[in-house]
Structure 1
Amino acid sequence: MRLILASTALLALAACGAPDPEASPAASDRAAAASPIFTAEEIDRALPAAATPDPAAPSGEAPDAPAAARPDPGLVRLQILLDRSRFSPGVIDGLRGENTRQAVAAFRKAEGLEGDAIDDALMQRLAAADPRAATTSYVLTAEDLAGPFSPPPSDDLATQARQGVRYTGPRERLAERFHITEALLQALNPGVDFRTPGQRLLVPAVGDPALPAVARIVVDKTERALRAFDDAGRLVAFYPASIGSETNPAPSGTLRVNGVAPEPDYTFDPDELSYGSGDETVVVPPGPNNPVGSVWIDLSRDGYGIHGSPDPAKIAKTASHGCVRLTNWDAEQLAAAVKPGVEVRFI
């Protein structure tokens, strides 16, 4: 990664990753006849189903759910409550996985509870922290449906630069706003085709809890997680993260925050980078599907930063090119709470 500080913009260089049709008329007709996967009441009264232990796992926790697994309404509720408590499970998908397990463990430790169990004590603490219902209703507006939109991100950066990196459509825009996968958003609202304003959606009541001022950040490369602490040493946020790779590792030791660039450009410069097959400099414009997402937190080692992502479902499940990648909403939350000079320790 490289970052150029200019008088008018911060250019994020190198990441550490036709509008998408929302549904065909035939698909929409079929969806209208279907029932939602869960109702609001089912989510609000649900408790996560017991995990199936994985004998091969050192601690016996359940493995990440396969892609075809059916979401669990109790896990949907748990993930929403964690998100609202600033202990992020990443994207809300209703599936059991390592990101949710680690967020549970981090919350329990902050609350003086041991282990990573999803039990009554955990659910009561989370519910007490924010007693609102887990879901809410939202009415689609004309602004939600208005473009311009971009085709899905391409592996070819020149194509991305030419076609743009805006949302692929209203469904992706709304899924990101409510921190949920597009698949689960559609499953909760099977009769919605995301092309007509005035339709009512069931969505996570995620809110936007602001962090207190962050004084120190710890990036755990083994755990694939980032923790933020205030000046009293209290843990104020936990985020799953993609952190480097074997060929492009994240740094070690202590760095500092240089500054924050909202809506950064992404520049591939073959003279500065050790990966990629292109031989020309390419500048990808700002946008939520930019390879560095919606925000860049510049660090004191040239080319390294903490930033967003065009694919929230892959956070902590794939590698990066040396930087620390979060979901866009987690990166934005963190960026709003840091200032130049904040310590960032890689362990």
Structure 2
Amino acid sequence: MKTGSIVTTATRTGLSLLAAAGLLAVELTPAAAQEGYYRGGGDVILVTPNGEILDYMPGQDEVRAMRDHRGRTVLVDPWGNVVATVMPSDGYGRARRRQSDVDVYSNDGYRDRGYGYSEPGEFTGTVPDYGEPAPVEREELRDNLPGLIDGSEQAAYDPQYDDPLRQPMPPAISVKGKSRAEITALQVFLDREGFSPGVIDGKMGSNVTKAIEAWQQATGETLDPNNTEDILERLRFNGGLPITTYTITAADAAGPYVAAIPEDYAHKAMLPHLSFTSTTEMLGEKFHMDENYLRELNPGVDFSIPGTIIKVINPGPNKAGKVARIVADKSRKQVLAYDEADKLVAAYPSTIGSSDTPSPSGIVSVERIAFDPGYTYNPKINFQQGANDKILTLQPGPNGPVGTVWIALSKPTYGIHGTPDPSKIGKTQSHGCIRLTNWDATELGKMVSKGVTVEFVD
């Protein structure tokens, strides 16, 4: 699993720090981490409401630039959630270091609060008090954002969100002041229900919001993400505690693993298998987790030692059933799966096409499903990758270009597939195909069959 470049400090000793302060002490990434997103006006970083430094630039079709009541530039998603605040890198670093000097966190503050990685026992909904974040008084920016890479006079955000979505769903209730522990419980509930939030990382974002909306559409219920007691009660009946323990096996530690996955396809083609690069990458994918989050839940743990007991997400079994129709909603960046009665039964965040290699429009159908597929690169019919101008054969593996599943569509070269970069699903662009996390693609692949229709909608 590929993860971002954020480096956490030693003060990350568990999720109790978020329950205590709603913040996560981090060590700043270099200014180069944001290079290419902004220029001019000094170095800036994007800081999430949880205090994280965003290690990617949200797509122009994902956010809108606005001002909060303090005059700061904020990036807001289509559902009204603040994705990040634009801040000077130096000033933020000094403020964060001062804060980390005085904050004291407890390793066991997350224990016995209903989230489940203490000893097994009665499920409790007791949680600490949480402070409300400062409100954002949103208004459209009338002048350009200094330093936007395109240099345009207006922030170049896609105006499609000024209009209702093509397939409007019951809007999700905005999340207010929830800790990472509570958001984790929400993500696990949705994942077990078949309405995937993508990687489980304890962070609220558009993928979680879309999952809530799709779940509401399917069930006819309203899910209040702020009602932790209700979410914990629901978890009791769909799999139990959201976090459990796992003992690392000898097979886990042995792999096989590769030292690194090269970017160049010609170099990829030289590898005997596009395997995981580490035990943590493998375990993160096994338990639907962000790799950094796995490390945060287990500070100081050596994951290469068999017999080590670690804390992991408890995602539950894959959703089962038969999917008769798929809708790939380009504007929502979401795949919606319907059964024979045309009932929505599953939904997955996705990356669908790009401006250079757009996805097809209209209706196509599933031609075949391949698990653990190899990949043939042909620059004459695929995209151009680097300087590669010859046909290349890449071996199977979770770090291959199409991940662990390939669902071929009736339009040649297009398909639904997995990815080696699950944390970027819904946040980046693909080469025209529909990209899901490996675990979501596997779940969907086992529910579809040849002839299932796939409708691309704008």
User: TM-score scaled to structure 1, two decimals?
Assistant: 0.82
Deviation at residue 134 of structure 1 after TM alignment: 1.0
The Cα of 1:257 is off from its aligned counterpart by 0.6
Q: Tell me, yes or no, if structure 1 residue 89 matches structure 2 residue 182.
A: no
Query: What residue number does 1:342 align with?
Result: 452
For the pair shown, the structure with the greater C-alpha radius of gyration is 2
1:183 Cα shift? Answer: 0.7
The residue that corresponds to 2:231 in the other structure is: 123
Which runs of 5 or more residues in structure 1 are unaligned? 1-16, 21-29, 65-69
Which residue, 382, 395, 404 being the options, matches 1:285? 395
Query: 1:227, CA displacement in angstroms?
Result: 0.5
3-state SS in 1 of match to 2:396: coil
Q: Pick from 195, 219, 223: which aligns with 2:332?
A: 223
- Structure 1 residues 39-48 or 88-97, which shifts more? 39-48
1:112 matched to which residue of 2?
220
The gaps in structure 2 that reach 5 residues or longer are 4-8, 17-109, 117-124, 141-160, 163-170
Within a 5 Å distance, the mapping from 1:129-168 to structure 2 comes to: 129-130=237-238, 132-163=240-271, 164-168=273-277
SS of equivalent residue, structure 2 residue 281:
helix
Please say if residues 77 and 134 of structure 1, whose CA atoms lie closer than 8 Å, have aligned partners that are also in contact: yes
Structure 1 counterpart of 2:390, one-letter code: E
Q: Secondary structure at the match of 1:261?
A: strand
Deviations for 1:160-197, whole angstroms, at most 9, x for unmatched residues?
Answer: 12234100011111110000011110111113111211
Higher relative contact order structure (alpha carbons within 8 Å, sequence separation ≥ 6):
1
Which amino acid is the alignment partner of residue 118 of structure 1?
P
Q: Deviations over 1:294-340 (max 9, x none)?
A: 01001110011000000100001000000000000000000001110
Q: What CA RMSD, in Å, does the superposition of the two structures yield over aligned residues?
A: 3.1
Counterpart of 1:72 (choices 176, 180, 195) is 180
Q: 1:258 aligned to 2:367?
A: yes
Report if aligned partners of 2:402, 2:419 keep a CA contact under 8 Å in 1: yes
- Kindly state the Cα deviation for residue 40 of structure 1 after the two structures are TM-superposed: 5.3
Give me the whole-angstrom Cα distance separating, in 2, the residues matched to 1:93 and 1:274: 32
> What does the per-residue CA deviation read over 1:75-102, in whole Å, with 9 as the maximum and x for residues that have no partner?
1111111111111000001111100111
Aligned residue pairs total: 313
SS at 1:278 equivalent: coil
**Counterpart-to-counterpart distance in 2, 1:87 and 1:263:** 23
The structure-2 alpha-carbon separation of the partners of 1:199 and 1:124, relative to structure 1 and needing over 3 Å to count, comes to: closer
2:398 touches 2:420 (CA, 8 Å); kept in 1?
yes
The aligned counterpart of 1:183 is: 292
Offset of 1:36 from its aligned partner?
2.9
Give the counterpart letter for 1:85 in structure 2.
E
CA displacement, residues 232-280 of structure 1 (integer Å, 9 cap, x when unaligned): 1111101000000001000110011111011111111122224323111
Report the Cα offset of residue 131 of structure 1.
5.1
**What's the secondary structure of 1:41's corresponding residue?**
coil
Cα 1:311/1:41, change in 2 over 3 Å: farther
Correspondence for 1:3: none
Once the 2 structures are TM-superposed, how far is the Cα of residue 111 of structure 1 from its aligned partner?
Answer: 2.2
